[in-house]
A and B are shown apart, each in its own frame.
Chain A
Amino acid sequence: MYVAVKGGETAILNASALLAQARRGDPAVAEIDTAQIAGQLRLGVARVMAEGSLYDEELAALALKQAAGDQVEAIFLLRAYRTTLPRFGYTVPLDTARMAVRRRISATFKELPGGQVLGPTYDYTQRLLDFSLLAEGGAPDAVPGVEPLPDTLPRGTDLLGEEGLIEPELPLPGDPAPTDLSREPLGFPADRATRLQNLARGDEGFLLAMGYSTQRGYSHTHPFAGEIRMGEVALEVVPEELGFAIGIGGITVTECQMVNQFAGSASTPPQFTRGYGLAFGEAERKTMAMALVDRALRCAELGEDAASPAQQAEFVLSHSDNVEAGGFVQHLKLPHYVDFQSELELVRRMRAEAAQPQAAEEQTA
């Protein structure tokens, strides 16, 4: 039976009420609070902050709670909130060399100043379900004494730079202000600063697939993880009335510098090139994938063919945003019956026309 879409308002209100009920789940089980989410689901919160483009652990935790754990929905909630916020100014660029490092590893040098710092990582856990967590686990064991880390650690890639073995990372001539993708539309060709901004907000799953494709022969870039570091960096602004930088706080970020082979060209001696990834919070998988995609997207600048999907900037950058993609894929559930009716009318007419000559043939036969 056909039920016309009428009384839409009541239906919408009822759906909201059902959603609230479903989100809460069994009221006999204690409600989760945002401090628990921020404290105990911190990696989920980090992804929401990174792709939601807003560093606020409490609001990201709230978004995750409201979205019942759906990360893409939580990212959308945070973005829609962020867009209403006034903008006070821009910080000076983060200096990750001055990061208070909690994790720093390099796959290119066995030993480097400051050493390899594993930090809190899943890397060498054996992926066995820990059934003790089913019960309330209590406080974990204290971390055995380790040497305190120096305040700052030099970046692994800087060691290559001293020998001229890796391309220098220099501002563009005139050091132009980067595009702000949250205020200006993406245009093509997009410069590297714009591309990196897009990738930093991009969907982790999409970047992972794109980065992975470069490892499987779709534009192989011979990557090495030059350095991955995670920790706290200072935020600084230069107030107009002071004229010098003052600290306004700090955030956790993860940075990945991939080192990639490059044969050199007529104008450039052989040297290593870089792919770069940076994201809010602990986001190692995302920043590694981002660095692979960044390097692949530099193909034109480095004189390489742009034959693979990950090298095609318009393809990658236009499809990386999960708020855009999620909305448009799911808009197909909105009514399209006017368009469908139009197609139906045409298909029926064409079928009728196709049947006519056939019928005529049968008559003459």
Chain B
Amino acid sequence: MSATGYNFAYLDPQTKRMLRRALLKAVAIPGYQVPFGSREMPLPYGWGTGGIQVTAAVLGRDDVLKVIDQGSDDTVNAVNIRRFFARTADVATTDRTAEATVIQTRHRIPEAPLAEGQIMVYQVPQPEPMRRLEPREAVTRTLHALADYGFMHVKLYEDIARYGHIATTYDYPVMVNGRYLMSPSPIPKFDNPKLNRSPALQLFGAGREKRVYAVPPYTRVESLDFDDHPFSVQRWDAPCALCGADDSFLDEVVLDDAGGRMFVCSDSEYCTSRQHAGHTGPASNNMASARLGRGPASS
């Protein structure tokens, strides 16, 4: 028991054992969704309860935890989850990707490369990659059993016929180790290549839907595509306005009512580290930098 009167990391030992058993099976069957007895958490379903339960099951006193939402350590939901674990598990927290042993994330993979020994925990709203095409769980489970993913390909091809593009830009489906079709969670497809053969262990938790799944280190993760329409990621015309990075996912920031806008790194820690290291972008000395709170001098 911690000072809060609740268990270490909130969950009781029995629940943790159940989750831990599910996680070991998830690692043994990469990309397969393991059902688990998801518990009500003190945060609402849809707000990261799956990721929180996975983190609670793996977290120990020596871990260093990083929590991001939309790539940023400072969004309210990330702050709230970090506070939750600081309060119930008294663990060290960080915003430095390289220092973290466990990284819980919603919607992004950090830009800095992950290392062996790190654990990524993804918050997953809808673990079933085919759910939008087939709402019935009984049917999608059979399709996974048969590895029958034909209609997912048909859907993507219909996009090409209709729009000239695959119209899926985030939560873009992947094949794990050539067997299971998997939702990478709603990360932008920009991040999909980072899933492939990552040295980190990647765990996925869907609390409301009561599923966990995993991608072990060095595991093949391929985004679905076609010979004549190979998978490609988003690109921007200009680098990050604050740090000049041309290899990161950029958020569009609306500056005024006159249509003024700029593009800045979505990974706030990556951007800040680059600025500290002396990198600059087109708007580095602009007032917007201070307003955004990303510049080294801001408070």
Contact = CB atoms under 8 A, between A and B. Distances in A.
A134 B256 CA distance: 52
A324 B291 CA distance: 37
Residue of A184, A189, A346 with most chain B CB atoms under a 10 A cut-off: A346
Given A183-B37, A185-B36, A342-B190, A335 B77 contact: yes
Interface in A257-303: none
A334 B41 contact: no
Give the contact-size bracket for chain B.
35 or more
Contact of B70 (A84, A337, A353): A337
A152 B163 CA distance: 70
A197 to B, nearest CB: 13
B255 interface: yes
A353 B162 CA distance: 13
B76 A12 contact: yes
Contacts of A338: 70-71, 107-108, 170, 186-188, 249, 251, 266
B125 A4 contact: no
Nearest to B141: A188
Given A5-B75, A12-B79, A324-B208, A330 B44 contact: yes
Interface string B188-222: 11100000000000000000101100000000000
A4 B294 contact: yes
A314 to B, nearest CB: 6
Give the contact-size bracket for chain A.
35 or more
Interface string B152-171: 00000000000111010111
A186 interface: yes
Contacts of A83: 15, 39-41
A114 interface: no
B46 interface: yes
B285 interface: no
A343 B171 CA distance: 11
Nearest to A86: B12
Nearest to B39: A83
A343 B169 contact: yes
Contacts, number: 157
Contacts of B114: none
B83 interface: yes
A263 B193 CA distance: 60
B40 A80 contact: yes
A8 interface: yes
Interface in B173-192: 186-190
Interface string B37-54: 111111011110100000
Contacts of B165: 346, 349-350
Nearest to B78: A8
Interface in B62-100: 69-72, 74-80, 83
A110 interface: no
Interface string A313-344: 01100100001101111110011111101111
B47 A327 contact: yes
Nearest to B260: A2
A187 interface: yes
Contacts of A344: 252
Contact of B79 (A1, A9, A82, A345): A9
B260 to A, nearest CB: 10
B6 interface: yes
A338 B111 CA distance: 14
Contact of A5 (B45, B46, B76, B125): B76
A112 interface: no
29 contacts: A2-B292, A4-B291, A4-B292, A6-B74, A9-B79, A80-B40, A83-B40, A185-B210, A185-B211, A187-B35, A189-B138, A314-B136, A314-B138, A323-B45, A324-B45, A327-B45, A328-B125, A329-B46, A331-B45, A334-B77, A338-B70, A338-B186, A341-B249, A342-B169, A342-B170, A342-B234, A345-B169, A346-B167, A350-B165
Given A79-B40, A80-B40, 11 more contacts: A5-B72, A6-B292, A8-B80, A83-B41, A84-B7, A84-B12, A183-B37, A185-B35, A185-B211, A337-B266, A341-B252
Interface of A: 1-9, 11-12, 76, 79-80, 82-84, 86, 182-189, 314-315, 318, 323-324, 326-331, 334-339, 341-346, 349-350, 353
Sorted from nearest, which 9 A-B pairs have the closest CB atoms? A331-B46, A327-B45, A327-B44, A8-B79, A342-B169, A185-B210, A328-B46, A6-B293, A79-B40
Interface of B: 6-7, 10, 12, 15, 18, 35-42, 44-47, 49, 69-72, 74-80, 83, 106-108, 125, 135-138, 163-165, 167, 169-171, 186-190, 208, 210-211, 234, 236, 249-256, 266, 291-294
